[in-house]
Structure 1
Amino acid sequence: MKHLLVDITAHGFGHLAQTAAVLNALDYPDLTITLRSLAPESILRDRIQHDFHLIPYQQDNGMVMQDALNVDPLKSFQWHQQFHQNYEQKLTQAIQELNQLKPDVLFTDIPYLSLDAAHALAIPSIALCSLNWADVFQTYCGQFAGAEKIHNQIIQAYQKATVFLQPTPSMPMPLLHNTQTIEPLTAQGKAQPDVLRQRLELNTRHKLILVSLGGIGIDYPLNTWPQLDNVVWIFPDEVLTQQREDWKPQSQAQMNYLDLLASCDLILTKTGYGTQTEAVINQVPALCIDRGDWPEQPYLRPWHEQQGEVIYIEWSQILQGKWADTIHHLLAQPWTKPRPSHQGAQQAAAYIKKYLAQAN
């Protein structure tokens, strides 16, 4: 049996969404999958259809967030400074751990330490993401003394990947010489709006809005949340600290996330690869919270506007409750755009299969 090791950063759920799409497209007989991440096991198993052995494991932190929308540059730099002050020691440990696991291929989205370790052991490695932590780190932390050395170490680790796959749309990565562009990397759910309304005890005149701001928390302004005729909001369970007739917990839907998304009339989300590409492929209009400083936004926004139905909104408007007209506009907007080709998951899976087949 061949052994695939998968490393997923737990910075939100977008990296999991990309990885899950690839693994679910991977058809390889007699394959053992080991997955290392700090993402919640329940969500990992909800999104990934293969059986896998899970090792709770952290080898990157992405950016330290104040909340779902805002990066804390100083704390992010301090985390990286501490992590990299004994980087060689961490690399030695990572090599030992990789040697014990003995994978035939390493697949990461997008921890870099294990890519460095895999190179040392001559294990084929595939990095995949629409961003990389080196350039994100440079965006928020490049002004701090000592940042250049950290940035260089991260870049050098990414350069050691056998290939770095960039799903459309991605940030430019001019410092990497091993990149390969693939089609959008996303997944299509099974739309079951009638089933969803039945489980939520609603009728056909109700419009359903999924509230999905990712895996990093934020204080929702429930006191000023708009109440609209025949509109029902589906929130993550933990958000609903209050009750209201038009608010439903996500668990009541009894659906996996992609089917739930595909069954809704609209999604409220934030700038981020996973949900934006899923909204387009599932042809669900999106109200997207602007993250002007997030380095992916200049590439995600025009793609989403061209391929889907989306309106950008400031978080300040959400806080003030002044966005009901925007909701009505999106709910009335007909979807006229063709579904774009989205074979990125199959293309990435083909790389994994190729390197697995080549392994001794």
Structure 2
Amino acid sequence: MHLLLAITGHGFGHAAQTAPVIAALQRRIPSLQLTVRSDLAEAAIRDFLPMVKTIRRPVGDFGMAMANAFDVDAEASGRRYRDLHAVWPTIVAVEAAGILADQPDLVVSNTNYLALAAAHHAGIPSIFYSSLTWFDIYPVYCGARPEAEAVRADMAAAYRCADLHVMPTPFLPTGIGPVIEVGPVARSGVNRRDEMMAALAGAGKRASRFLVLVSLGGITTPLATAAWPEQEGVTFVFVGSPGAARPDMVSLADLSVSFLDCLASVDALITKPGYGSFVEAACHGVPVLYADRGDWPDQPALSSWLHRHTPAACIERAALDSGAFAPELRALLTTPRRPPAAAPGAEQAADLIADRLRFLPRR
């Protein structure tokens, strides 16, 4: 069987919540052939989905234009959607031809609504799987635009082309119609703390009592870390460059461990609200300090779930920029950790997709 997976390239969260489902699906259908359609960098796609055979680029799937990891560029986003939907039938036909050329048996989309409309146009069954839809995100930033009603009508019709709508907990409630709710979905890492401590010492860095991972997800955003005050007993591990040459700051790349293994090894995570960051941290039992993301629509659902499953605290963006978060971080580091949250969603979603694949005629 041949599965075409359409993943929105808006940061890494959509790939992170999809990868465990595809791994579980391959355990059920070992002969599964996988094609990915995404604007994510090829290296990122292969990191999340090492089993992928073919990578294609979609015609128009961009999520929201971002000024940085926190802020949506509403004007740029609105222009992109306006231009896309001005020629919507043509775009759907072009994308349908691209999908049809690969002859998949099923399309699964997270959260690319164009792929769902194109699959329907091509006569290929499809499943929507994601914790959010652009139908629900778009009006928060672009709802006052003159074309907004028509754009949302196209979005709704496209999402409703899917045969199933599957959403992993926690998710942003949607207006596209009934959904099948599955449990949380998270990748898992291995605790390699001893190796990290040895690598820190070898790199001339401080092997402190507490290791804190700093990651703002897949959209690069520099931090003014040179201004951060040192915190007793804390070493910060940055995904990317620390931005300052200090003994208490190190790049993850210098420790020779993967992001997931690092997450499984640290004492806390500093991040922004996002499905992958929050759920993967809680499912490793790691406390989370996060900077407020303002009006991003799924922050309330994500934050509510996070606080129920692991010690967590929210700080203002200004505190993250200045490093003025020592009391909040210290409280998290000294609070007893809770058992890791359960993540049954990947197996549940894989069952739903496998059932659909098994009853489809081969192309």
What's the offset of the Cα at 1:257? 1.8
Q: Which residue of 2 aligns with 1:13?
A: 12
Q: Which residue of 2 aligns with 1:248?
A: 250
* Corresponding residue SS for 2:264: helix
Equivalent position amino acid for 1:77 in 2: G
Structure 1 pair 308–35 and aligned structure 2 pair: CA distance change class (3 A)? same
Equivalent position amino acid for 2:305 in 1: W
Q: Which residue of 1 aligns with 2:145?
A: 144
Q: Which residue of 2 aligns with 1:313?
A: 315
User: Are the aligned partners of 1:271 and 1:300 in contact in 2 as well (CA < 8 Å)?
Assistant: yes
C-alpha distance in structure 2 between counterparts of 1:37 and 1:76, whole Å: 18
* Corresponding residue SS for 1:64: coil
Equivalent position amino acid for 1:105 in 2: L
C-alpha distance in structure 2 between counterparts of 1:210 and 1:319, whole Å: 16
Q: Which residue of 2 aligns with 1:219?
A: 222
Q: Which residue of 1 aligns with 2:282?
A: 280
What's the offset of the Cα at 1:118? 1.2
C-alpha distance in structure 2 between counterparts of 1:75 and 1:327, whole Å: 35
Stretch moving more, 152-161 or 183-192 = 183-192
Q: Which residue of 2 aligns with 1:48?
A: 49
User: Are the aligned partners of 2:5 and 2:108 in contact in 1 as well (CA < 8 Å)?
Assistant: yes
C-alpha distance in structure 2 between counterparts of 1:161 and 1:125, whole Å: 5
Q: Does 1:79 align with 2:70?
A: no
Which residues in structure 2 correspond to 1:68-107 (within 5 Å)? Answer: 68-107=69-108
User: Are the aligned partners of 2:200 and 2:207 in contact in 1 as well (CA < 8 Å)?
Assistant: no
C-alpha distance in structure 1 between counterparts of 2:106 and 2:273, whole Å: 31
C-alpha distance in structure 1 between counterparts of 2:293 and 2:349, whole Å: 28
Q: Which residue of 1 aligns with 2:114?
A: 113
Structure 1 pair 200–51 and aligned structure 2 pair: CA distance change class (3 A)? farther
C-alpha distance in structure 2 between counterparts of 1:241 and 1:192, whole Å: 24
Listed as ranges, the gaps of 5+ residues in structure 1 are none
Stretch moving more, 118-127 or 62-71 = 118-127
Stretch moving more, 24-33 or 79-88 = 24-33
Q: Which residue of 2 aligns with 1:261?
A: 263
1:107-131 deviation digits (Å, cap 9, x = unpaired): 1111111101111233221111111
User: Are the aligned partners of 1:286 and 1:311 in contact in 2 as well (CA < 8 Å)?
Assistant: yes
C-alpha distance in structure 2 between counterparts of 1:204 and 1:95, whole Å: 53
Structure 1 pair 58–120 and aligned structure 2 pair: CA distance change class (3 A)? closer
What TM-score results when the alignment is normalised by the length of structure 2? 0.94
Q: Does 1:169 align with 2:170?
A: yes
Listed as ranges, the gaps of 5+ residues in structure 2 are none
How many residues were matched structurally?
Answer: 356
User: Are the aligned partners of 1:124 and 1:355 in contact in 2 as well (CA < 8 Å)?
Assistant: no
1:220-269 deviation digits (Å, cap 9, x = unpaired): 012211212231111123x3343111111111222222111111111001
User: Are the aligned partners of 1:161 and 1:178 in contact in 2 as well (CA < 8 Å)?
Assistant: no
C-alpha distance in structure 1 between counterparts of 2:74 and 2:39, whole Å: 22
User: Are the aligned partners of 2:223 and 2:243 in contact in 1 as well (CA < 8 Å)?
Assistant: no
C-alpha distance in structure 1 between counterparts of 2:98 and 2:166, whole Å: 25
1:71-103 deviation digits (Å, cap 9, x = unpaired): 111111011001111010001111111211110
What's the offset of the Cα at 1:41? 2.1
C-alpha distance in structure 2 between counterparts of 1:320 and 1:240, whole Å: 14
Stretch moving more, 41-50 or 289-298 = 41-50
User: Are the aligned partners of 2:206 and 2:247 in contact in 1 as well (CA < 8 Å)?
Assistant: no
C-alpha distance in structure 2 between counterparts of 1:269 and 1:341, whole Å: 21
1:15-38 deviation digits (Å, cap 9, x = unpaired): 010111211222212121111112
C-alpha distance in structure 1 between counterparts of 2:52 and 2:93, whole Å: 29
* Corresponding residue SS for 1:195: helix
C-alpha distance in structure 1 between counterparts of 2:95 and 2:57, whole Å: 14
Out of 315, 323, 326, the residue aligned to residue 324 of structure 1 is 326
User: Are the aligned partners of 1:208 and 1:264 in contact in 2 as well (CA < 8 Å)?
Assistant: yes
What TM-score results when the alignment is normalised by the length of structure 1? 0.94
What's the offset of the Cα at 1:49? 4.0
Q: CA RMSD in A?
A: 1.6
C-alpha distance in structure 2 between counterparts of 1:69 and 1:88, whole Å: 32
